[in-house]
Amino acid sequence: MVQDVFLQIWNARLRYDERRGKFTTWLFTIARNRALDRLRRRASRPAGDPELMAELTSEENPLGRAIDGQQQRSVRAALAQLSPAQRHAIELSYFRGLTHSEIARETGESIGTVKSRTSRALVALRDALGLAGAA
């Protein structure tokens, strides 16, 4: 997946416009969208799909390698500091891969509420994890 992201960034490098935002924000957006595409592709496969099971149990699975134990504890502690509504919005967006519109439908809230809640939660997480310059 990382190689796919880098290839996509390389192919789209001429479309990056620094007036529209920071490079890291653009890069993270591409990576997030690629991850969501992959999650949606997995969700469309039958539960007993041998290819999916091989992928999940492979030592090449980046999920387990990407975050070590200390980072996991830090992220969990930062998530615990969020309000329940913020945490729920983050879980639906980043762990279940739902769009803002899908979250609004699922929770019965307006899309504006979902967007602002998610945005505030991301700022709080960034601050709690000491990632002030990451976005």
Give the C-alpha separation, 106 to 92, whole Å: 9
Quick count: other Cβ atoms within 10 Å of Cβ 92? 19
Q: Quick one: which H or E segment has residue 73?
A: helix 69-80
Q: What is the pTM of this model?
A: 0.51
Do 107 and 129 lie in one domain? The reply is yes
Domain boundary residue among 19, 50, 66? 66
Domain boundary residue among 50, 66, 82? 66
The domain of 58 spans: 1-66
Do 60 and 74 lie in one domain? The reply is no
The domain total for the chain is 2
H helix runs in 1-135, sequence order: 2-12, 23-43, 50-57, 62-66, 69-80, 84-90, 100-107, 111-128
Do 56 and 87 lie in one domain? The reply is no
Do 41 and 103 lie in one domain? The reply is no
Tens digit of pLDDT at every position of the chain (135 positions) = 667 777 777 888 778 778 887 877 878 888 888 877 777 776 655 544 455 445 544 445 454 445 556 677 787 888 889 999 998 888 888 778 888 998 999 899 999 999 999 999 988 988 888 876 554
Do 95 and 48 lie in one domain? The reply is no
